């Protein structure tokens, strides 16, 4: 049966990807925080003339909010807003430098919004953006330079917020796509299991029904073929025939279960062309004369050979059940690139058993076997009486498993 990734494995992969993404974001934001902190401290201390200790504190708040956002988003948003407010208060005498939104504040807030949008949801990023704007908005009315800085900072961080929304939506779509693929894989696996059960049911029908039919016919006809049987022996043969009939009935019921139950089974050994004479001999012992013609150039192995054997087996089993005693002619030959299997039986010489009617699985199996190899099968009554089964199988096919 084809190997197909199960849905739980797909979902486990999604969980693993989430953990890997979170770890990657934590490492990335930590590195960015270190770089931002290293730039922000001397910038605040030299250009904005902020006390070194205060520069350390505000820079730590702005930079440290980035890795915090990976685990604690609300804490990160609050710490960042506090850092923005503190930096604006400490740098009111900026002497023409960007204020209240210096470059380092814009960068830290923009990265924070992207992280929040990617790790959590866009609404949280929007709230964090609003918090940063609100705490610095009063400074916009100090002078025109502050208003320009405020507009620039708000616009750039709003753009970062929009980018985070787009990236977050893309990631959500990716996760949903993974889940849809997992669902599709589960459905595909279920279909393959159903096909496998049907294949097993056909194998059981081919192998078991053939053997039981032979047993039933031999046990039923033994009192007429063997002279001098005692009454006890005749009774024994009658019980054997009854057991075979009962087993065939139970087998048909079992086939119906196999076509719907979620159980696994081992497939039967796969014979080929070389086993056809033995098959014909077993049918002849059941009272059906068989004339077998096999092309000597045929290879014994391969899917086509296995399918040919199963088709002949099913057709002969049908003859034993429905046309007992009918002379039957089996030919297996190569025509062009095809393996052609033909089973012709004449009119029955004996009446079929009352319980000979089957469930129709056999002929369906013949057609499906041929179709699996890219071939075709035809069956029906012959113009002069009797029945014909004709199957054409491409020799070069690598079709599915029999």
CA angle 43, 29, 119 (to 5 degrees): 135
In terms of domains, do 162 and 276 share one?
A: no
In terms of domains, do 169 and 290 share one?
A: no
In terms of domains, do 310 and 170 share one?
A: no
In terms of domains, do 169 and 287 share one?
A: no
Residue 105, token pair as written in the block: 């504040």
In terms of domains, do 160 and 282 share one?
A: no
18 within some domain: yes
307 within some domain: yes
In terms of domains, do 177 and 324 share one?
A: no
CATH code, domain carrying 353: 3.30.565.10
302 within some domain: yes
- Per-residue confidence (pLDDT) for residue 268, from 0 to 100: 47
In terms of domains, do 21 and 148 share one?
A: yes
In terms of domains, do 164 and 286 share one?
A: no
- Per-residue confidence (pLDDT) for residue 256, from 0 to 100: 61
- Per-residue confidence (pLDDT) for residue 82, from 0 to 100: 94
Q: Of the residues 137, 152, 184, which one is the last residue of a structural domain?
A: 184
- Per residue in 111-130, pLDDT tens? 999 999 888 877 888 899 99
In terms of domains, do 178 and 301 share one?
A: no
In terms of domains, do 18 and 116 share one?
A: yes
The residue range of the domain holding 52 is 7-184
Backbone dihedral region for residue 279 (phi beyond 0: left; psi -120 to 50: alpha; all else: beta): alpha
At 275, phi and psi to the nearest 5? -90, 0
Which parts of the chain register pLDDT below 50? 1-14, 261-268, 398-402
214 within some domain: no
138 within some domain: yes
Q: Domain count of the chain?
A: 2
- Per-residue confidence (pLDDT) for residue 185, from 0 to 100: 78
In terms of domains, do 39 and 150 share one?
A: yes
- Per residue in 27-68, pLDDT tens? 999 999 999 999 999 998 888 888 999 999 999 999 999 999
1 within some domain: no
320 within some domain: yes
In terms of domains, do 53 and 172 share one?
A: yes
108 within some domain: yes
Tokens 């139970």 locate to 250
């Amino acid at each position: 049966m084809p190997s197909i990734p199960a849905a739980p494995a797909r979902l486990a992969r999604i969980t693993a990807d989430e953990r890997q993404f979170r770890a990657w974001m934590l490492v990335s934001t930590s590195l960015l925080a270190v770089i931002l902190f290293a730039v922000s401290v001397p910038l605040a201390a030299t250009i904005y003339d902020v006390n070194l200790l205060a520069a350390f504190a505000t820079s730590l708040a702005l930079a440290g909010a980035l890795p915090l956002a990976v685990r604690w988003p609300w804490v990160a948003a609050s710490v960042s807003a506090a850092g923005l407010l503190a930096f604006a208060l400490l740098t009111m005498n900026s002497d023409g430098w960007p204020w209240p939104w210096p470059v380092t504040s814009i960068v830290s807030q923009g990265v924070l919004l992207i992280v929040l949008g990617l790790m959590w949801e866009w609404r949280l990023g929007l709230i964090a953006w609003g918090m940063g704007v609100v705490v610095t908005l009063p400074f916009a009315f100090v002078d025109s330079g502050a208003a320009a800085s405020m507009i620039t900072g708000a616009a750039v961080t709003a753009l970062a917020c929009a980018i985070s929304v787009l990236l977050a939506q893309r990631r959500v779509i990716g996760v949903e796509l993974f889940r849809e693929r997992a669902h599709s894989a589960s459905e595909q696996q279920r279909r393959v299991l159903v096909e496998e059960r049907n294949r097993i049911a056909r194998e059981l029908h081919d192998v078991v029904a053939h053997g039981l039919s032979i047993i039933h016919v031999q046990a039923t006809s033994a009192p007429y073929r063997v002279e001098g049987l005692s009454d006890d022996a005749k009774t024994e043969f009658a019980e054997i025939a009854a057991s075979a009939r009962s087993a065939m009935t139970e087998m048909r019921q079992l086939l119906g279960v196999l076509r719907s139950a979620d159980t696994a089974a081992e497939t039967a050994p796969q014979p080929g062309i070389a086993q056809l004479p033995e098959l014909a001999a077993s049918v002849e012992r059941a009272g059906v004369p068989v004339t077998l013609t096999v092309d000597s150039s045929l290879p014994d192995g391969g899917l086509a050979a296995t399918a040919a054997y199963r088709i002949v087996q099913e057709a002969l089993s049908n003859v034993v059940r429905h046309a007992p005693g009918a002379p039957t002619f089996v030919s297996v030959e190569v025509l062009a690139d095809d393996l052609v299997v033909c089973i012709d039986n004449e009119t029955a010489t004996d009446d079929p058993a009352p319980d000979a009617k089957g469930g129709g699985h056999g002929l369906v199996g013949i057609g499906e076997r041929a179709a699996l190899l890219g071939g075709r099968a035809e069956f029906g009554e012959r113009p002069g009486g009797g029945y014909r089964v004709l199957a054409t199988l491409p020799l070069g096919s690598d079709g599915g498993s029999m």
